[in-house]
Structure 1
């Protein structure tokens, strides 16, 4: 199985992106996707980082310029911070990643 690349963005690139990353990684492993490489960044850096990191998916907890990221699949993942709806959001991301195989 391949390693999927996920870019996680939040306002500062420190707190919520880390929580979202860890939650995403755990929930994807539970869905049969154990190999995930995650990079974290500030929302203001997401366009440049996406061009360098070339992620399969971008998850974000802050507003990002999705219109500049049209070639990437993006998910707003506040559910990974609050816990409410996290399972459903993980299902959605896992289904998308599995469709790339």
Structure 2
């Protein structure tokens, strides 16, 4: 599997995306997924999607994207976190195998 580039977004690109970044680093490492994470503001996602493989956001997705986009509010609430992590892992493995 190849290395994947993941955008991690929140409204301002600082607070909640930082929390999610650390959780994703642990999740990808535990599942042997080689990923480079890029912390951004959600407003930057559309212009950065062409050079990245997936988007994980803590905020509402304001548009449709050409890459898989996952809303990761479960990392903030703790509700549905197992389901979210399965979706992230499955998507990352699918993207990395292309």
The TM-score bracket by the shorter chain reads 0.7 to 0.9
Give the 5 Å matches for 1:70-85. 71-85=66-80
Q: What residue is the counterpart of 2:41 in the other structure?
A: 42
Indicate yes or no: 2:28 matched with 1:57. Answer: no
* Root-mean-square deviation over aligned CA pairs: 1.6
Q: TM-score, normalised by structure 1?
A: 0.82
In structure 2, list runs of 5 or more residues that go unmatched: none
User: d(CA) in 1 for partners of 2:26 and 2:14?
Assistant: 18
In structure 1, list runs of 5 or more residues that go unmatched: none
User: d(CA) in 2 for partners of 1:19 and 1:95?
Assistant: 21
Q: TM-score, normalised by structure 2?
A: 0.84
Structure 1 ranges of 4+ moved more than 3 A: none
Instruction: Report the count of equivalent residues.
Output: 96
User: d(CA) in 1 for partners of 2:12 and 2:85?
Assistant: 23
